[in-house]
Structure 1
Amino acid sequence: MAGDRRGWRLCLLGGAVFAVCMTGTTLPTPLYPLYQEKFGFSELTVTVVYAVYAVAVIGVLLLAGNASDAVGRRPVLLWGLGCAAASGVCFLSATGLGWLYAGRLLSGLSAGLFTGVATAYVMELAPRGGGSRATFVATAVNMGGLGCGPLLAGVLAQYAPWPLYLPFAAHLALVACSAAILLRLPETVGERRPLRTVRPQRPGVPAGVRQVFGPAATASFVGFSLFGVFTSVSPAFLAQSLDVTDHAVSGAVVALAFFASTGGQLAVGRVGVGRSLPLGCAGLLTGLALLAGALLWDLLALVVLSALVGGFGQGLAFRGALSAVSGASPADRRAAVISSLFVVAYAGISVPVVGVGLLSEPMGLEGAGLVFIACMAALVVTAAGYLVRRPVATDA
C-alpha cells in the first residue's frame, strides 16, 4: 500500500513536469494578434510560424523518438526542458519575426522530446496494475498543459503589464521548478546504452501492434487537425469577425477545447477503448458542424460549443488510441511506438493549418475555415467507417 502511494505520488510529479512543458508550447496562441500588430505580418505567416513548431516536433520524433529507450527517460526530458527555456528566452528577446520562428522551433523541439517520452515515463512511474489510471494521467496532463498555455497568456496579457513578456517570464520560472523536480525523480529504464547507439527511425511499429495502430492513428490525426486550427487562427477569427479583442476570452476559448479533451479522456473508462474511438469521431464531426455554423453566422456561442463538443470527441479518441497502442506495444519499444503515434497526430496539426493560412489570403478566414471543415468532415466519416469495420477490442 505504501509502495502504491509512493508510485502514484511519483506519477503525479512526473505528470506535473509534463504539463509545464506542454503549457509553454501553446503560450503564444492568444498573443499572435499582438505580434501581428507589432511586426506587421499576415495570417498566412501566423500559420507558418505555427507549422514550424509542428515540423520540429515531427523531426525530433523521427530522429530521436527512441532515444529514451537507450539513454533513459530523465536525460531526454531534461533536454526538453532546456529547449523550453531557450524558447522562452527567444520570445522575451523578440525584436522581429525571426525570433518568433526560433522560439517556435525550440518549442517544437521541447514538445518532440517530451510527448512520447513523458507519456511512457508517467505510465512507468505508476504502481503495478495502475496502467489505465496512469494512461489517463499522462493524456490529461498533456491536454491540460496545452490548455493552460493560452489561458495563462491570455489572462496575463489582458490584466497584467508587459503582455508580450510576463507570460514567458512566468513560464521560465515554472520550467526551473520542473527541472528541480525531475532531478529527484527515479529513472525507469533499466539497461541503458550510449547515445551514439541511437539511430534515426522511420515511422513504423512492430508487426503485432499494426492492427491496433492503424485506427488509433487515424482518429488521432483528425482530432489534432481540429486543435491545430483552433490554436492557430481562432484568435484572429474572434477579433476580425466577432469583435472579441479581449485576450483572456480568446485564450479561454482555445483552452476550453483542451480541457474538454480531458473530460473526454475521463469518459473512456466508462465506454471502453473500442467504443471510444468511433464515438470520438462522432464528437469531432459534431464539433466541425458547430464550427461551420459559427463561421457562417458569426456566433460566439457556436465557437464555444464547437470547442466543447469537438474537444470532448478528441479526448475520447485520443485516450482510446493511446491506451490501445500502449497496451499492444512491447516494453522496450513503447516510447518509440508512442512517438510514432504522435508523428501522425502532429502531421494533423501542421498540414491542414498551413492550408487554412494559404486559403485565407484569397478566400478570407471564413471561407478557408469552411473548406477545412469540409475536408476534415470527409476524413472523419471515412475514419469512423474504418473503425466500425475494424474495431479495437482492447479496453482502457
Structure 2
Amino acid sequence: MTEVSRHPRRWPRVLALVALSLALHLLLVDWGKRHLIASAAPDSQQAISVVLRPVPPPQQPVSLPAAKPPAPKNAPPKKTAAPRKAPPASIEPPDEPIRETVVAVAAPTSPETVAPPSGAMDGSENTAAGGKDGNAQAEAQPPAAGTHYDTDPPPSARLEYDVQATYNQMPVHGSGTLDWKTDGKTYRLDGKAEDFLFTFLDFSSSGEIDAFGVSPELYTEKRMRKSATNTHFNRARNIISFSASTESYPRNGGEQDRASLVWQLAAIGRGDAGKYRPGAVIDLFVAGVRDGEVWRIQVLGEEDLKLPIGEMRAWHVVRMPQPGSYDQRIDIWLAPLRDWYPVRLRYTDPRQNGDYLDMLLYRLKQ
C-alpha cells in the first residue's frame, strides 16, 4: 500500500484531537469564568457589601511617634531630711500687739488690659533687646513632644485571604496571603495578591522590633507589569532612600513602609489599646516606593464583620489621601480577639473608575 493511500485513515485521528482540544479549551474558559470573574449574582451568604463614606480630615495637630524616655541608670537615691519637731507653742503674750498687713491688689478690668509680667517680651521685643541671646533661648527650647506608643507585635502567623477586586471596572476574584514571622527581635513579612493568571502585587518587608515597635530596614514591592523597587531604612546613616527616585528623608524612629504599617497598628493595639477610640488619630511617617509622607490614621470605631472565616468584631481605621491626590484610600480592620491581626484590608482608587482590592480573611494559621 502506497503512502498516499494511507492518508485518509489519519483524518479521524486528527478530528478527534481537534475535538478534544476544543473541549479542554471550553472547560478552561468555563473554569476561568467561575473562579476569576465574579458572577453577576453571587451567593447572598458570601456577598459582602460595604459603603465607604468620605471621612473629614482630622483636626488634631500632627503628633509623630516618640521614644519613651529612658530611666536614669545607677541614680543615687534621694535623701529625705528627717522632719523637724515643732517647738512647743508659747502661752506667753507677745511683746508687741499683732498688726495686720494688707496690700491692696487692683483687679484688671479686662484680659486685654493685663500687662505682661516684668521682663516678659514677645519675640520681636526679645530679638531687639537681646539680639543673639534671644535667638539662643529660642533654639534652646526642646521641640514639641510626640506620642509614645507601648507596642507588642502579634505572634507569627500565615493569613490567607479571599480577594474581591475590580480592574477597569471589571470584577475579578483571586486570593492573597500575608506571612508574618517574628522572634520578638526581628521580623519578616511577605505578601501577595493574585488570581489564576496574574500576580497583582508581590511585596516583602523586613527589619527589627525596637523601642518604637515594628522598625523596617528594607521594603520591596513588585506590581503587575512594573519593575521591583526597594525602599531602604539605613540605620547607620539614619536616612530613608529609594531605588526608584533620588528622594531621601531623615530616619528618626517610628517610620514605616506600606506593609509594616499594618503590623505597627496591630502592635499598638496589643500593647496600648487605649489609643484606639473613635475619633483618635495615629500619625506615622510612611515611605512608599518613590517618596514618603505623614499618614494620619483615623480610628472610626468597632464594627461587626461577616467574613469567610466567620463573624467577628474589629476596629476600623482608615487612611484618607490628601485632597487632589491619586493615592489610594486604605481601610483596615483589626480584630482584638484574634491578636489584632488584619482580618480585612481594602484599597480603593480615588479616581473616577473607583477600582478597588478587598482582602477578606478566610484562614489563619499560627
TM-score range, shorter chain: under 0.3
Structure 1 or 2: more strand by fraction: 2
- Give the number of the structure with larger relative contact order, counting CA–CA contacts within 8 Å between residues 6 or more apart: 1
Given the two structures, how large is their TM-score scaled by the length of structure 1? 0.20
Tell me which structure has the larger Cα radius of gyration: 2
TM-score calculated relative to the size of structure 2: 0.21
Q: Is the helix fraction higher in 1 or 2? A: 1
